[in-house]
Amino acid sequence: MSDLAMMEGKAEGSRERGIDRVLKLLAYLNEAGRPVRVAELPKALGAPRSTIYELVRVLTDSGMLEFSGDDNKVYFGKLIYLYGINYVRENDLVRRGSAEVDALSRLTGETSELCVLNRNRQAIVYTHPGSRPMRISSQAGGQIPLPWTASGRLMLAHMTPAEIEALVLPEDLVLPDKRLVKMEAFVADCIAARGSPIVATSGLINSFTQCLASPIYGVNGQVQATICLVLPMDIADEHRADLQEMLIASARKLSMDA
């Protein structure tokens, strides 16, 4: 290999490492869900302090990150927010799904969500709170381990057992109250969800809510997203059945294969 080719290869490798660090930094902030002290980033990302500090400087100068107050914490900046607005505006599923979530929540009085698969997490893309005096709330942008959710079972329904086991982290099987979801039971739930118009879970994230999720199919016939209702545990069976029908109708309206 010539000296020029070696130099080009090293430069390419350096660029790739730089991009990887940017992606890791953004992913870390997204996972944290809050401003993070700059001093903790080198250890968290496994990179030299000088490299991370320079990276933070470049990203804050560009507007992708911002410092939070006077405590030397950094988080997403205005530019990221503008990118997000453009994504919501131009993504057909998110645009139509958000409108359907609003309509479903107003119709039922219950909290509704639009969710997608983001690597090994369920991501809440959009949510509309219900009108109950004691509201069940969820946060757009929240990411939840797949075994905790009805949507997770639908989103992995097309996968093989080996693919599901490879995707789900061991710590994701531990519920917030420290109960354990057995991997084989979760895999069986995912397989059982294939072709189902609705999946329900109860008391997984907390003891007072249940979730109904219905699949939104893409042109390839796979589950592209889900639309959900988050309900209190104590609703009547007849009312729950009515809510299921409305939820299924909303999902079919949004599916590309409808």
pLDDT digits (tens, 9 = 90+) for 20-33: 889 999 989 988 88
What CATH number is attached to the domain comprising 18? 1.10.10.10
138 compared with 97, residue with greater pLDDT? 97
**Same-domain status, 73 and 148:** no
CB within 8 A of 112, min separation 6: which ones?
Answer: 101, 102, 104, 105, 127, 128, 130, 227, 228, 229, 230
Residue 86 lies in a domain: no
Q: Are residues 234 and 173 in the same domain?
A: yes
pTM of the full predicted structure?
0.78
Asked whether residue 87 is domain-assigned, the answer is: no
pLDDT at 7 over 70: no
Query: Residue 105 sits in a domain of what CATH number?
Result: 3.30.450.40
Residue 12: per-residue pLDDT:
47
Which of 39, 59, 81 is where one domain is finished? 81
Structure tokens at 30: 């997204």
Domain boundary (81, 104, 126) is at 81
Where is average pLDDT lowest: 42-56, 94-108, 183-197? 42-56
Given pLDDT bands bounded at 50, 70 and 90, which one contains residue 86?
confident
pLDDT value of residue 85: 85
Please tell me whether residues 34 and 152 are part of one structural domain: no
> Does the pLDDT of residue 6 top 80, yes or no?
no
Provide the residue range defining the domain that includes 134.
92-254
Is the pLDDT at 108 greater than 60, yes or no?
A: yes
**Residues of the chain with pLDDT > 90: what percent?**
70
Per-residue pLDDT band at 70 (split at 50, 70, 90): low
Domain end residue (candidates: 35, 60, 81): 81
Q: What is the mean pLDDT of residues 215-238?
A: 94
pLDDT value at residue 25: 93
DSSP characters over the chain: --HHHHHHHHHHHHHHHHHHHHHHHHHHHHHHTS-EEGGGHHHHHTS-HHHHHHHHHHHHHHTSEEEETTTTEEEE-HHHHHHHHHHHHH-HHHHHHHHHHHHHHHHHSSEEEEEEEETTEEEEEEEE----SS-----TT-EEEGGG-HHHHHHTTTS-HHHHHHHS-GGGGB-TTS-B--HHHHHHHHHHTTT-S-EEEESSS-TTEEEEEEEEE-TTSSEEEEEEEEEETT--HHHHHHHHHHHHHHHHHH-TT-
* 199: Cβ contacts below 8 Å, ≥ 6 apart: 150, 151, 153, 154, 189, 193, 212, 213, 214
Q: Is residue 247 part of a domain?
A: yes
Residue 133 lies in a domain: yes
Q: Where do we find the tokens 């007072």?
A: 208
Give the residue with greater pLDDT, 137 vs 247. Answer: 247
- If one compares 131 and 215, the residue with the highest pLDDT of the two is 215
Across the chain, mean pLDDT equals 89
Q: How many domains does the chain have?
A: 2
**Which pLDDT does position 90 carry in this prediction?**
84
Q: pLDDT tens digit string along 152-209? A: 999 999 999 999 999 999 999 999 999 999 999 999 999 999 999 999 999 999 988 9
Q: Are residues 8 and 121 in the same domain?
A: no
